[in-house]
Structure 1
Amino acid sequence: MTGVTTWRPGLRSWLTLVRCEARMVVRDTAGLVVPVVLPLLIMVMNASSAGDQEVVAGRSALDVHVLPLVFTIVLASIGLINMPSFLAYYRRTGILRRLAVTPASPVMVLVAQMVVSLAQAVLGIGVAFAVAVSAFGARPPVDVGVALGVAGLAVAAMYGAGMIVASLAPSPNSAVAIGLIAFFAFGAVGGLFGGTAALPEPVARVGSWLPFGATVEALSAAWAGASVDASNLVGLVVTAVGGTVVAALFFRWQ
């Protein structure tokens, strides 16, 4: 009996798919520019005054408050808006359905899109931090390792929430609309519009559990060298795991 050799995509196939995804992202001018330029503008608008206010451990308000907010905006806009819209577009145009009957499964597209999205997030954060350091004297976190760990959790949480959007949105336009609603809803209770001190205490507490507020607060703590609140970490983990479970149950390839 002759055995049948099953072809599996190799490294070259993966790299080709990642390059194709990168080209798609680059061609989407708004999706490429907004996560980089908008946070940068917010940072520049607040840096002049915040950079002169020392808060703790030699870190200024720019370091402890503005930069965590800017980095969170980058991650949230990519995870909640950009990535789901691309996946919804691929499903709507039948790309995922066609891939499902080839050795290059739709999961490859999902992984490639996440890789490209992560590269875009690194670019946005890198540009903002480089400008903050060179132009306004920003300093790195007191606990760099903690900050990197929080950033990794934040990426997983934002992508988890974004996968829920991609699972439920019937079209690319609806994915953008739902993503924008989620972005501003999370941001409104997480410090996007001027901190959470003015919010009712129960609302502020909920905001600290949701991915936007949890990321801002945890990064702020890492920058100041303080202990990260356990509720922030739990909120990020729950969002990441919950988003993965919901996506596995409800994501439609066609």
Structure 2
Amino acid sequence: MTDVTVHRPGPRAFAELLICELKSVARDTAGLIVPIGLPMLILVMNASAAGREPVAHGRTALDVFVLPLVFTMVVATTGIVNMPSFLAYYRRSGILRRLGVTPVSPVMVLVAQAVVGALQIAVGIAAAWILAVLAFGANPPVRAGAAIGVLALTVAAMYAVGLIVAALSPTPNSSVAIGLTVFFLLGATGGMFGGRDSLPEAIATVGQWLPFGAGTEALSAAWMGAPVEAAPLIGLAAAAVCGTVVAALFFRWD
């Protein structure tokens, strides 16, 4: 009896897969414009009305309220709308099924998409930050380390929600439709359309625990130098864990 050793792809193969994913995302014009253009539009629309009076530790309303909202939007559009549409397309076209019978695991596609999404998020946040600094005199967060940690946790939570969208979407078009619906629902309860103070108390309370509201609130606290409360951190962590578990249960490769 002959032993057959299956060699898994190494770093070079993953790098080639990553390049292919980058090219696919670069050719998706809407996928590039929405995560970068929409948050920057929101930034411009809200920056002039935010005022330049300090709120805390020399940080203005632009720093404390607008920038956390914009950064969370970048993460949400990438994780909930863009990433699931690519995975749904790969499943519908049979790419994931074909990869399942090769040494290249379909999980590598998920990892590559996560890396490409992280690059998109970095570009979107950098573009919004540069615009905010040059055009509106924005200030950095008082607790930069806490802000970076909250941002990373927000990315994990939004990606987990996006994996649920990818798991339940039968087609790429339905993935975009479901992703946009989830994005706007989370945004509406998280203060994207005027702040949670204007929402009914019950909805505002729920929004505090959901990823969009939790990410915005935690980033806002870090920006003004206040302690980040446990509730939004627990909400983000719970979304990351629960979303991953649910997606693993329902995700289909074909």
Q: Which 4+ stretches in 1 moved above 6 angstroms?
A: none
Query: Counterpart of 1:196?
Result: 196
Aligned pairs (5 A) from 1:1-254:
3-254=3-254
Cα drift, residue 111 of structure 1: 0.5
Please give the root-mean-square deviation of Cα atoms over the aligned residues, in Å: 1.0
Amino acid at match of 1:213: G
Amino acid at match of 1:21: E
Q: Counterparts of 1:204 and 1:143 in 2: how far apart (Å)?
A: 26
Residue 182 of structure 1: SS of its match in structure 2? Answer: helix
**C-alpha deviations, 1:11-70, integer Å up to 9, x for none?**
110000010000010100001111101111111122123251321110000000000000
In the alignment, is the contact (CA less than 8 A) between 1:46 and 1:66 conserved in 2?
Answer: yes
- Structure 1 residue runs of 5 or longer lacking an equivalent are none
In the alignment, is the contact (CA less than 8 A) between 1:51 and 1:138 conserved in 2?
Answer: no
In the alignment, is the contact (CA less than 8 A) between 1:79 and 1:158 conserved in 2?
Answer: yes
Residue 150 of structure 1: SS of its match in structure 2? Answer: helix
TM-score (norm: length of structure 1): 0.98
Amino acid at match of 1:193: F
Which one is further off, 17-26 or 47-56?
A: 47-56
In the alignment, is the contact (CA less than 8 A) between 1:62 and 1:138 conserved in 2?
Answer: yes
- Structure 2 residue runs of 5 or longer lacking an equivalent are none
Residue 55 of structure 2: SS of its match in structure 1? Answer: strand
Q: Counterparts of 2:143 and 2:48 in 1: how far apart (Å)?
A: 24
Q: Counterparts of 1:138 and 1:6 in 2: how far apart (Å)?
A: 54
**C-alpha deviations, 1:192-217, integer Å up to 9, x for none?**
00101111111101001000000000
**C-alpha deviations, 1:118-146, integer Å up to 9, x for none?**
10000000010011112211111000010
Which one is further off, 152-161 or 49-58?
A: 49-58
Q: Counterparts of 2:231 and 2:178 in 1: how far apart (Å)?
A: 26
Q: Counterparts of 2:216 and 2:18 in 1: how far apart (Å)?
A: 30
**C-alpha deviations, 1:161-195, integer Å up to 9, x for none?**
00000011111111111101100100111010010
Q: Counterparts of 1:2 and 1:187 in 2: how far apart (Å)?
A: 58
In the alignment, is the contact (CA less than 8 A) between 1:100 and 1:106 conserved in 2?
Answer: yes
In the alignment, is the contact (CA less than 8 A) between 1:143 and 1:223 conserved in 2?
Answer: yes
Q: Counterparts of 1:248 and 1:242 in 2: how far apart (Å)?
A: 10
Residue 119 of structure 1: SS of its match in structure 2? Answer: helix
- State, as a whole percentage, how many aligned pairs show the same letter: 65
Cα drift, residue 3 of structure 1: 4.1
Cα drift, residue 4 of structure 1: 3.0
Residue 18 of structure 1: SS of its match in structure 2? Answer: helix
